[in-house]
Structure 1
């Protein structure tokens, strides 16, 4: 448990630098309802994807890239041993943050050009209930890289 606390503390110190260099933006929020997302505009670089509503996402289309604020989540889930309870808290945080995300997109100067929302996660159970459609990363190299970078988050979330 002490190792986990120390690693989260170190991550908390490094986290602002990461978000600065990745040009992420914290969504506007109120004190009572803080968003779990950080976002930025991105140009899509993957294969052509057809969404269930008929929207076609092609290379260089503009998307909103969402990131979960992992350090905040790890702190919030600290001390909870029940995985189902953790999942419910995470689901609730994401669901409540969608309002902030929608407002961000509506108010963005490029709102007409934004084709969709993208994010990469190991947590895809229940994403359809939140309005997201999962797609498998086709590039083996990129998939390997993302697994490598997501592993520390997974390790810290399962460390007891």
Structure 2
């Protein structure tokens, strides 16, 4: 995708992002007065039972803190960078945000009920180093909906996305204990 088309798409996305932010009830994670690339909200898990490597069991309707990367911001900041450089910037930004997410979760009204973090992504390489565990989405309709919804992000984030095999979206989880222990 040409850089001109990518910049135009990001411009349009930046216009609609505040509406998305409002209707999804997201909240920013803030570090030293600055908004991070992470936005969150409490959600009820609707998938199949998952047992994480530390023994945390996540059942249907358990409370989790859903994390969203602010993709328009990330992609806008990394236009012109190589895919590897972009991935490193995202990795570092998420890594730097995790202590603030831990603090946010620690003081949340539902802290005792929230079992951990959840996200959905097609770009999950490297998530294990951050403490996340990738798990497949079992519901084929939900998986397809996420595949469609995440495709624009995927195509904008990679230079030659059309020539690469598109990965399936995956859940990424991190238990609350893991988050507090690591961060």
TM-score of the two chains, using structure 2 as the length reference: 0.83
1:21-36, aligned counterparts within 5 Å?
21-31=23-33, 34-36=35-37
The CA distance in 2 between the partners of 1:42 and 1:34, in whole Å, is 21
Which SS does the other structure have where 1:142 is aligned? helix
The CA distance in 1 between the partners of 2:36 and 2:102, in whole Å, is 11
The Cα shift of 1:154 comes to: 1.1
| Structure 2: stretches of 5+ with no match in the other structure | 161-183
Which SS does the other structure have where 1:20 is aligned? helix
Which SS does the other structure have where 1:149 is aligned? helix
The CA distance in 2 between the partners of 1:124 and 1:11, in whole Å, is 22
Question: Deviations along 1:85-117, whole A, 9 cap, x unmatched?
Answer: 111111101100111111110110111111111
TM-score of the two chains, using structure 1 as the length reference: 0.94
* Kept in 1: contact 2:83–2:159 (CA 8 A): no
Residue number in structure 2 paired with 1:5: 7
Between Structure 1 and Structure 2, how many residues are aligned? 158
1:12-51, aligned counterparts within 5 Å?
12-31=14-33, 34-51=35-52
The structure richer in strand per residue is 2
| Structure 1: stretches of 5+ with no match in the other structure | none
* Kept in 2: contact 1:62–1:115 (CA 8 A): yes
Q: Find out whether 1:77 has 2:62 as its counterpart.
A: no
